[in-house]
Each structure stands twice: as structure tokens, then as C-alpha cells.
Copies of this chain bind each other. A is one copy, B any other.
Amino acid sequence: MSETLTIEYALLGFLRQQPMHGYEIHQQLTDSHGLGLVWHIKQSQLYALLSKLEQQGYISVILEPQDSRPTRKVFHLTELGQILFLEWVQSPVPQGHKLRLDFLAKLYFAHREASPLTQYLLTQQQQACQQWLITEQARAHALAPQQQFEQLVHQFRLGQLQAMLTWLAHCQEALLP
């Protein structure tokens, strides 16, 4: 599984709490709760992803017939899926555009489980950002004055990184046990 596929991991995270059928997940995701705030996904895509995850062995399915409704496919997280999820949720997010989505997803699950993982995650991400900030600064310094556009790109990144770091510090305080 590619490391940039946040949604798949998020699905594993949902199923980790309790087995669910596709329609149920979809409801939670489209509800105006914090979930739908971050992830946007169409129904057909959701079902496709669940099928894929099942084929890959990260989740398993149990059919649950009902009297007067279509049969449900209830998905359970497998041990393999459990391992994959835990690996993902603990690792800091590498730099890039998807940082926002990916890190917020991790934070969501860590926070939801009220585990000490939250502080660990925040610290790790802080360090990763700090590291990245340093390299960005170095690169920005190495630029010639006439490379104006390149300088602006780096300044943009530096600004976003600074804001991220400020926010991470705020999270640490807000989420103290």
C-alpha cells in the first residue's frame, strides 16, 4: 500500500474500533462530524476501497442477512490490518502537500483512543518539521538573489512550516492528559 493513501488507513482506523458495514461507514463520513470535515469520499469509492482492502487481507468480511433489508457486508479488521494501521499511525508525516490531511488523520485516531500515542505523535512530528525547516532554510540561503521565484517558494514553505510548528505546540498543550 502506498504511504500516501490516507483514506485507506483511516478506514482501518474506523474498523479498529468496531466492525462496520460499508453504508454505516459512509454515514459517519458524510455526517457533519469531525470526520466529514477532513475526508471527502463518494459512496462508490468507499465500497471499492473496502473491496480492495479485503483482497489485500487487511480486513475480512462477514455477511449479515436481514429480514427486510439488503444483506450487509460487515467488515472486520484483521491482525494484518491491525499491524499496518499501528505502523502508520505512529510514523511522522514526511513533508509535502498531503501533510495536512495525513497528519490530521493520524491525530484524529490517536486522540480518539486517548492513548499516550498522541503526545508521542506530536513530538515526532515536531522533530520532523524542525528538521525539514532547517534544510529548507539552508536551501533558501544557498539561492542566488536573482532566483526570485525559487526564493518565494522556499519562503512559502518556511511560513507554512512555522505555522505548523506553532500549531503542534498548541496541540500538545490542548491535548495534555
Task: List A residues at the B interface (Cβ < 8 Å).
Answer: 33-34, 37-38, 97-98, 100-101, 104, 107-108, 111-112, 147-153, 155-156, 159-160, 162-164, 166-167, 170-171, 174-175
User: What are 30 inter-chain pairs, A to B, with CB distance below 8 A?
Assistant: A33-B150, A34-B147, A34-B149, A34-B150, A34-B153, A37-B153, A97-B97, A97-B98, A97-B100, A97-B101, A100-B156, A104-B156, A107-B149, A111-B148, A111-B149, A112-B149, A148-B175, A151-B174, A152-B167, A152-B170, A152-B171, A152-B174, A155-B170, A156-B164, A156-B167, A159-B166, A160-B160, A160-B164, A162-B163, A163-B163
**Interface secondary structure of A, over-half rule:** helix
Known: A100-B97, A104-B153, A148-B111. A167 touches B174 (CB 8 A): no
Knowing A97-B100, A100-B97, the reply to whether A148 touches B160 (Cβ < 8 A) is no
